[in-house]
């Protein structure tokens, strides 16, 4: 295995380094979240998820869940929030699927295709594509869902 001098010549040697949006300080033996990322999450909570909010879309909840999930990797106590978020998202996805199955012919066709039996490699590709289409439709549906009491 060869190392490239060009790759490493521009790197600074320091006890503090930010990698994958985590600040690692080897002197303090500390891992933290950079202030810019924390400010992004705060802004998202303040502007999108304010306390008066009553409804959400699955996509909005998934974005927040991803951000909080990232923070939970550093602050384990946050994991308790994720279970409530996951249950709210699962409930909303179920409602989205039911609504789309009743109202959208394209969704019904994609759902039927996604559940079809696979015989050849071509069938596998078509079924996988249909499954992707169904999942995207459910996640991107503009349907508003009520915020469950456990998420407040």
What would the pLDDT profile of 22-68 be if each residue is shown by its tens digit? 777 778 888 888 888 899 999 999 999 888 889 999 999 999 999 99
> Which pair of structure tokens corresponds to residue 126?
């078509």
Q: What is the pLDDT of residue 79?
A: 83
Higher pLDDT, 97 or 28: 97
Higher pLDDT, 111 or 12: 111
Q: What is the pLDDT of residue 100?
A: 95
pTM above 0.85, yes or no: no
> Which pair of structure tokens corresponds to residue 18?
């930010």
DSSP 116: S
In the three-class reduction of DSSP (H, G, I as helix; E, B as strand; rest coil), residue 72 is classed as: helix
Phi-psi region of 10 (alpha: psi -120 to 50; beta: other; left: phi over 0): alpha
DSSP 120: S
Strand 22-25 and strand 16-19: pairing?
A: antiparallel
Higher pLDDT, 76 or 97: 97
């Amino acid at each position: 295995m060869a190392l490239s001098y060009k790759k490493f010549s521009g790197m600074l040697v320091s006890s503090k380094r930010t990698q994958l949006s985590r600040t690692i300080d080897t002197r303090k033996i500390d891992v933290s979240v950079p202030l810019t990322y924390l400010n992004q999450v705060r802004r998202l909570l303040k502007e999108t998820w304010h306390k008066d909010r009553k409804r959400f879309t699955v996509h909005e909840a998934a974005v927040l869940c991803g951000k909080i999930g990232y923070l939970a990797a550093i602050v384990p106590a946050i994991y308790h929030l994720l279970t409530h978020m996951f249950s709210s998202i699962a409930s909303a996805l179920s409602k989205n699927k039911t609504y789309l199955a009743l109202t959208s012919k394209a969704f019904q066709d994609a759902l039927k295709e996604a559940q079809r039996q696979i015989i050849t490699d071509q069938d596998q590709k078509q079924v996988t594509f249909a499954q992707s289409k169904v999942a995207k439709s459910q996640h991107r549906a503009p349907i508003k869902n009520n915020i469950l009491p456990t998420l407040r």
